[in-house]
A and B are shown apart, each in its own frame.
Chain A
């Protein structure tokens, strides 16, 4: 059963509007649909500014979309009453990138971890303490650390505290918004392992938002590649990961630096980076950066269509690409 279903959501931001000038409208998320099944980690990759964090916040109920639905456990989050929303929130938690500011520096961490508990349950002080210690142990911290303040922890430990807080209510889905991106490699590995273990142990679902494909590959069961507010490729089941065919997915993959000086990447590639396309009414979003574009790409916007089982791509040329791939 689908735990979360996002149905054609759109969210635009207005920026720089001033008296007479109309300002720019940025379409952070456009007509996007995606779903996450129970016990599955969906990796969401894309460059900064592609709208992946906005999507995360829409799913978390922090950013109402202009249109579309977010259906979590069969209920449309933005249509139901506040009380029902609160009930749903219990199963929907998050871990953010800046582990440092995610915990109010004015309180000891037991306040942070206890906050969700106090919002939903009436626990005695002793029960609350027990639960907090249990959670700290679950994420590999010392239960006695509950009285420490955030500045007394290292980055990796703080991120563990954040995970403990996210776990406090036994959620079903955790949105990991760049949750390991600002950690050191060695610490990143610890946290990724912890997340993988917790997922198995507690049958959690994740939405893992990251720009780091290697980390996403490690943790995810399905991958969605996002470009300018839309999903351009979706793969379910990591066994077909090497079949990523969209030119943008390929670009992302090729940007990953080789792990050994023997496999150095050719750095002489031309410059291109995320550009907000001025006219998105017609044609493919990726057209400015695409190296296999065709006449049709200028005229018709490609839809996300299935190329094989568990594999969706939004590209007119996908058949051709996969054909070439098969020939090789």
Chain B
């Protein structure tokens, strides 16, 4: 019933369908890149640099003569995949921490919330940079840093939700009827939180992609020659004037993905709110 309702809500929005298709195509082409990609994304051939689109290089080539389309396809996995990893790890940690903190209260709550305060005291980007700086630049470290910075926000929101759910009569009734705490959390609290958090996460996925790309752009994330959209932007920026095509392709991809995720998040939220009213 739940899924049916959500599916219905999604179906009624054309934009949602379009964004789903876009995301599907991008993910699929990323996954099938080894088969579908016309060229080796890391193969450098200086004699082919700055080529215009042709049959062999559908989107042309970059300053090192690498096929842009192939790089975009392989990059989809790194960019989208790492964002999804960041998000799912973040959500998992924050649900555990937030629920624990909100439900247990007392010292556990105080300790976890002070920890959150500590992390929140630093500007987001600065903290990420510091962590990556300490761990050394690599995609894994970027992911770690982003999780460390992000979980706090979600944990706070989840804690608030748990606090209010905890006082709802159905939770009290469950306690009175002898339901153990873990079952109350699993059966009564999490199902009322997760849909909202999924929406929030979807809305924020776009931001995470931008963040990872941004860090790559700064040279902290993905190391050359691995194809990644942010890194591609970084490479292309020197040729902004002479060959804007280079920056346009990865830029457009990021834009498309971010917009798609935002639309999807909006639609999910509408579907859930519709169901709950």
Contact = CB atoms under 8 A, between A and B. Distances in A.
Contact of B174 (A60, A97, A115, A166): A115
Contacts of B183: 119
Interface stretch (B68-76, B80-88, B165-173, B227-235): B165-173
Interface in A107-140: 112, 115-116, 119-120
B177 A101 contact: no
A289 to B, nearest CB: 30
A102 B168 CA distance: 7
B177 A93 contact: yes
Given A89-B178, A101-B168, A116-B178, A96 B173 contact: yes
Contact of B178 (A57, A90, A105): A90
Q: Tell which of A90, A119, A162 has the most Cβ of chain B within 10 Å.
A: A119
Given A94-B172, A101-B168, A106 B191 contact: yes
Interface string A166-205: 1011000000000000000000000000000000000000
Contacts of A98: 169
Contacts of A61: 176
A62 interface: yes
Interface residues of A, number: 29
B211 interface: no
B188 interface: yes
A169 B178 CA distance: 10
Interface in B161-196: 168-170, 172-180, 183, 187-188, 191-192
Interface of B: 2, 168-170, 172-180, 183, 187-188, 191-192, 276
B2 A89 contact: no
Interface of A: 57, 60-62, 86, 89-90, 92-94, 96-98, 101-106, 112, 115-116, 119-120, 162, 165-166, 168-169
Given A106-B2, A106-B191, A106-B192, A101 B169 contact: yes
Contacts of A57: 172
A102 B177 CA distance: 12
Contacts of A102: 169-170, 172-173
B178 A162 contact: no
Given A60-B176, A162-B173, 12 more contacts: A89-B176, A97-B169, A104-B191, A105-B276, A112-B170, A115-B177, A116-B177, A119-B177, A119-B179, A120-B178, A165-B173, A168-B177
Contacts of B176: 60-62, 89, 92-94, 166
A92 B173 CA distance: 11
Nearest to B180: A119
10 contacts: A57-B172, A62-B175, A86-B178, A89-B176, A89-B178, A93-B176, A106-B2, A106-B192, A116-B179, A120-B178
Nearest to B176: A94
Nearest to A87: B178
Contacts of B172: 57, 62, 94, 96, 102
Contacts of B188: 104
A103 B178 contact: no
A89 B172 CA distance: 13
Nearest to A99: B169
Contacts of A103: 170, 173
Nearest to A120: B178
A105 B177 CA distance: 17
Given A104-B188, A106-B191, A169 B177 contact: yes
B83 to A, nearest CB: 30
